[in-house]
């Protein structure tokens, strides 16, 4: 039975690069991958899924708050895997839809994203993922400052560390680093 995976890590842990590598492997085998990302992620363009290493690919579906993933027209194409970037910005109901996709489409769904925000609070979609995912994996990276294992994200506003405020709107202008505890 296909599974719902959640692969999380702090900022700069190569989550998107991992997603793109998995997509590449499927495509090299002649298999169809469905790429999904939230519409609020416009850092590299509306459709672009891009890692900081420079690898990129266009998303097949952009998810807004009111998007129903099941409205996607598969055009009778066999999909072998669903990959989701920046999953933390989806809604909990999207997580339930992704869970159903594993069952109805008989394919694995692999979600990549942050576990917590810069205030160390779970994102609502991630809370739901932690409840229903079959497999939860951490992608590790090191602290920007001391080289220990990073576990948190630090927001910067105008070049200064900032733990206040809410994360809202698009993520095009926010800068984050990974830090340890």
* Secondary structure (DSSP) of 98-144: HHHHHHHT---EEEEE-SB-TTSPBPHHHHHHHHH-SEEEEPP-B-T
Q: Assess whether 121 carries a catalytic annotation.
A: no
Buried-state track 171-180, b at ≥16 Cβ within 10 A, e below 16: beeeebbbbe
Interatomic CA distance for residues 27 and 148, integer angstroms: 35
Which of 124, 134, 131 shows the shortest CA–CA distance to 101?
Answer: 134
Interatomic CA distance for residues 92 and 95, integer angstroms: 5
Q: Spot the catalytic one: 47, 86, 131, 138.
A: 86
Structure tokens at 28: 């090299």
- The answer to whether the CB of 169 falls within 8 A of the CB of 40 is yes
- Please list the helix, strand and coil fractions of the chain in percent, rounded to the nearest 5, in that order: 25, 30, 50
Catalytic residue positions?
86
């Amino acid at each position: 039975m296909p599974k719902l995976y959640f692969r999380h890590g702090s900022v700069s842990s190569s989550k998107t690069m991992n997603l793109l590598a998995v997509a590449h492997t499927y495509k090299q085998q002649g298999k169809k991958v469905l790429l999904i990302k939230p519409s609020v992620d416009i850092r590299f363009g509306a459709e672009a899924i891009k890692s900081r290493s420079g690898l990129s690919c266009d998303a097949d579906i952009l998810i807004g708050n009111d998007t129903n993933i099941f409205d996607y027209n598969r055009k009778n194409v066999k999909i072998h895997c669903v990959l989701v970037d920046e999953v933390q910005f989806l809604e909990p109901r999207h997580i339930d839809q992704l869970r159903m996709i594993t069952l109805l489409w008989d394919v694995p769904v692999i979600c990549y994203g942050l576990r917590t925000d810069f205030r160390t609070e779970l994102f609502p979609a991630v809370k739901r993922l932690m409840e229903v995912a079959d497999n939860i994996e951490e992608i590790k990276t090191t602290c920007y400052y001391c080289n220990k294992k990073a576990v948190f994200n630090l927001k910067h506003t105008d070049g200064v560390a900032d733990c206040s405020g809410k994360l809202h709107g698009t993520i095009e202008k926010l800068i984050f680093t990974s830090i340890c505890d």
